Amino acid sequence: MTPAPLPFHPSPKKPDIILPQGACDAHCHVFGPSARFPFAPQRTYTPIDAPKETLFELHRHLGIDRSVLVQASCHGTDNSAMMDAIAAAGGRYRGIAMVDREISETELAELHEGGVRGVRFNFVTHLGAPADLDAIRAITEKIIPLGWHAVVHFDAHRLERLAPFLRELRLPMVIDHMGRIDASAGVDQPAFRLLLKLMEDERFWVKVCGSERLSRAGPPFVDAAAYGALLVERFPDRVLWGTDWPHPNIKQHMPDDGALVDLLEIIAPRPELLRALLVDNPTRLYWPETL
């Protein structure tokens, strides 16, 4: 039997740092509530309900003004829980959808109208079968006219085989969770070197979050934050950050979201870096019309 999922932190601390105005959590999820938005039959895990109201309250508590909701595999290609949350946020939230290869132009236009600005592809073993490469080619060609990007989520060991394929695609790509590298394996580990190499191509962006997933040292996950700091220093205008609330599939150390915000002191140690990471970069990708 699969063990019961760990609940998200019930009372995160108030962060020690004050976030800049317009700060964006560019990676988090809403789950359910399942009575209204049932999970996908083919899911590989069943999370605890994590409704929009709880997320909105968390963002207020942390000092986060904007957000990008990322469709998670447990909801499959039914984006309705995410769309409902975006609609309730009055333009301050955007979304990354998961879609079928057959999606029509009309359906894509509806998603765009509802705040979606990209599509996510999963290559993470514990989340099910890897995304189909032909389907990705077909979907990305459909979303290019909308100005969308792709979000790619993969296990670090897959990057070597995946990189040539990603380089073929003709749109911006955002890599989730620093490519899920192993924080104990050092900056010379092949996957991290390859990630740095990919980032030299200006189509690629990277999310410097997920420290709690990459860390081998445990809380406060400083070992993983050091990789984020390196990426932010080297590519300050193509990095994004998020809480990853409600932290699906965290098995051991459920993070305190306020403490994750405090890790930004390591990840983006100067005000101009923090502003680029939390405000200017998300604006360019998700709210370009406000520039």
- Largest separation between any pair of C-alpha atoms in the chain: 50
Which is closer to ligand 0GY, CB of 275 or CB of 277?
A: 277
| Residue 175 in contact with ligand 0GY, rule: CB under 6 A | no
Residues 141-170 that bind ligand 0GY (CB under 6 A): 153
Residues 234-263 that bind ligand 0GY (CB under 6 A): 244, 248-249
Give least dist CB 257 to ligand 0GY, A. Answer: 13
The count of chain residues that interact with ligand 0GY, using the rule CB under 6 A, is: 12
**Block residue for tokens 């979303």:** 143
* Torsion angle of the four alpha carbons 76, 289, 23, 6, in this order, in degrees rounded to the nearest 10: 0
Task: Collect all residues with Cβ–Cβ distance below 8 Å to 188 and sequence separation of at least 6.
Answer: none
Which is closer to ligand 0GY, CB of 228 or CB of 248?
A: 248
Considering the candidates 244, 256, 262, 280, report the single residue annotated as catalytic.
244
| Residue 73 in contact with ligand 0GY, rule: CB under 6 A | yes
**Block residue for tokens 């400083």:** 222
Q: How deeply is 6 buried, as exposed, middle or buried, from its count of CB atoms within 10 A (0-12, 13-18, 19+)?
A: middle
Give least dist CB 249 to ligand 0GY, A. Answer: 3
Residue 223 designated active-site: no
Give least dist CB 186 to ligand 0GY, A. Answer: 22
CA distance 98 to 95: 10
Which is closer to ligand 0GY, CB of 94 or CB of 213?
A: 213
CA distance 191 to 249: 22
Q: Where do the DSSP E strands lie in the chain?
A: 24-28, 66-70, 93-97, 116-123, 149-154, 173-175, 204-207, 239-240
Which is closer to ligand 0GY, CB of 52 or CB of 213?
A: 213
Which is closer to ligand 0GY, CB of 117 or CB of 213?
A: 213
Tell me: cis bond preceding 220? Omega within 30 of 0 counts: yes
Tell me which of 23, 64, 127, 229 binds ligand 0GY, using CB under 6 A: 127
DSSP 228: H
| Residue 99 in contact with ligand 0GY, rule: CB under 6 A | no
Determine the angle formed by the axes of helices 80-87 and 52-62, rounding to 10 degrees: 50
| Residue 72 in contact with ligand 0GY, rule: CB under 6 A | yes
Give least dist CB 218 to ligand 0GY, A. Answer: 17
Tell me which of 55, 58, 62, 74 binds ligand 0GY, using CB under 6 A: 74
Residues 24-63 that bind ligand 0GY (CB under 6 A): 29
- Name the helix (H) or strand (E) containing 56: helix 52-62
The catalytic residues are 244
Q: Which residues contribute to the site for ligand 0GY (CB under 6 A)?
A: 29, 72-74, 122, 127, 153, 176, 213, 244, 248-249
